[in-house]
Amino acid sequence: MSLDHYVTLGRSGLRVSPLCLGAMTFGEDLGWGSSVEESQQIMDRFIAAGGNFIDTANFYTMSHSEKIIGDHIGRDPAKRDRLVIATKFSGNLYPGDPNGGGSGRKSVINACEHSLRRLQTDYIDLYWLHNWDVHTPIDETMAALEDLVRSGKVRYIGVSDTPAWKVAQANVMAQFRGWSSFIGLQIEYSLLERSVEQELVPMAQELGLGITPWSPLKSGVLSGKYTRTSAADKASRAFAGTFLNEKAYALVDELGIIAKAHDSTVARVALAWVRMQPGVSSTIIGARRLSQLEDNLKSLELVLTAAELAHLDALSKPAFGFPQSMQPMFPSIHHGGNTVNGVYAPPSPFVIDKTAKPY
């Protein structure tokens, strides 16, 4: 696979590259990240390689991320029109203003207008609800988003960091009312963060939302730069935080073995695993340096074997709570003694004797 082997995002006709360029690191306003010049170089390299999907948010680097994209791409109509530019609302940039953030109609429309100005474009390809606002009815948010779509200021809508039941409620309601529904689901997903497989991933597959994982390298823990004895700089370790533990180191060891077999790197193997998971459309990669982008792009050349995928799956398999914790027994209850869709289950111990009559 290469970056110009495009896929449709969820149940939509929007074509996106299999890797999405995350722009959270654009700008050094918070004391870390990429300079304006290097951010521009990263965008140019991504686009030259065939990438067409760039993701940002009104909140990133105090809105500077959007401005960097707008200054470099928004002023070039030909370049802008071939790209899928995604941004998010919900973040409040105005302390003291209760309507400066969240998902109410006043905030959503105002945030969109400001993002359009900073991005120097008259439309947003994909507008994400950044995270669930418990103080706003979801029908108000969906109605406001529908107005933006009908006005032409937004082409598609997506949702990020929101419970599965709330996303399902929003989409089913929107479909019944003839409104635009979410086509993408942005969630944290990696070999060290698989809890999303309990509810969010199956929900996305059932409702046709394309999954765009963020932090596929778990804040750099799965990049390969951290080992039990490494002395990585304090700034980068700050992002890794408490994730650097024996479980993570053991997983990185196994990733290293697979990487060596493919003449590849730990980071590329971790990215390939995420890309090959069911329901994943486009994986968000962040790069503070051009060299990091180059390494991440090469993950598309890597195809893990079924045995390698199974091995990594077993090493990182999460323990689910109720009701998923009961699912292993369901096949025996539903079709014990038979094979259905390739799944065989032994008879349940509760079944009656064949010769006996049910009560």
Confidence of residue 243 (pLDDT cuts 50, 70, 90): confident
H or E element that contains 202: helix 200-207
Which of these, 265, 270, 86, 287, lies nearest to 182 by C-alpha position? Answer: 86
Q: How far is Cα 191 from Cα 317, in angstroms, rounded to an integer? A: 8
Residue 102 pLDDT exceeds 90: yes
Residue 238 pLDDT exceeds 60: no
What pLDDT, on a 0 to 100 scale, did the predictor assign at position 348?
84
Count of C-beta atoms within a 10 Å radius of residue 348: 15
Catalytic residue among 6, 60, 127, 226: 60
Count of C-beta atoms within a 10 Å radius of residue 257: 12
Q: How far is Cα 11 from Cα 238, in angstroms, rounded to an integer? A: 38
Q: Which CA distances in Å does 147 have to 14, 37, 43, 114, 283?
A: 20, 36, 31, 16, 29
Q: What is the mean pLDDT of residues 17-33?
A: 95
Q: In this prediction, what percent of the chain has a pLDDT beyond 70?
A: 94
Domain borders along the chain are 7-316, 321-359
Q: What is the mean pLDDT of residues 124-141?
A: 98
Known catalytic residue: 60? yes
CA 56 from centroid of its chain's CA atoms: 12
Residue 353 pLDDT exceeds 70: no
Q: What is the mean pLDDT of residues 223-234?
A: 73
H or E element that contains 165: helix 164-177
Q: What is the mean pLDDT of residues 89-112?
A: 97
Q: How far is Cα 18 from Cα 281, in angstroms, rounded to an integer? A: 6
What pLDDT, on a 0 to 100 scale, did the predictor assign at position 351?
67
What pLDDT, on a 0 to 100 scale, did the predictor assign at position 229?
78
Contact between 291 and 253 under an 8 Å Cβ cutoff? The reply is no
What pLDDT, on a 0 to 100 scale, did the predictor assign at position 1?
84
What pLDDT, on a 0 to 100 scale, did the predictor assign at position 357?
63
Confidence of residue 189 (pLDDT cuts 50, 70, 90): very high
Residue partners of 309: CB distance under 8 A and separation at least 6 = 273, 276
Pick the CATH number of 7-316 from 3.20.20.100, 3.30.565.10, 1.10.1760.20, 3.40.50.300: 3.20.20.100
Q: What is the mean pLDDT of residues 167-194?
A: 98
Q: What is the mean pLDDT of residues 176-203?
A: 98
Residue 234 pLDDT exceeds 80: no
The model's pTM:
0.93
**Residue range 315-325, pLDDT digits in tens:** 999 999 999 99
Strands 339-340 and 210-214, by their bridges, are unpaired
Six token digits for residue 333: 């209850």
Q: In this prediction, what percent of the chain has a pLDDT beyond 90?
A: 86
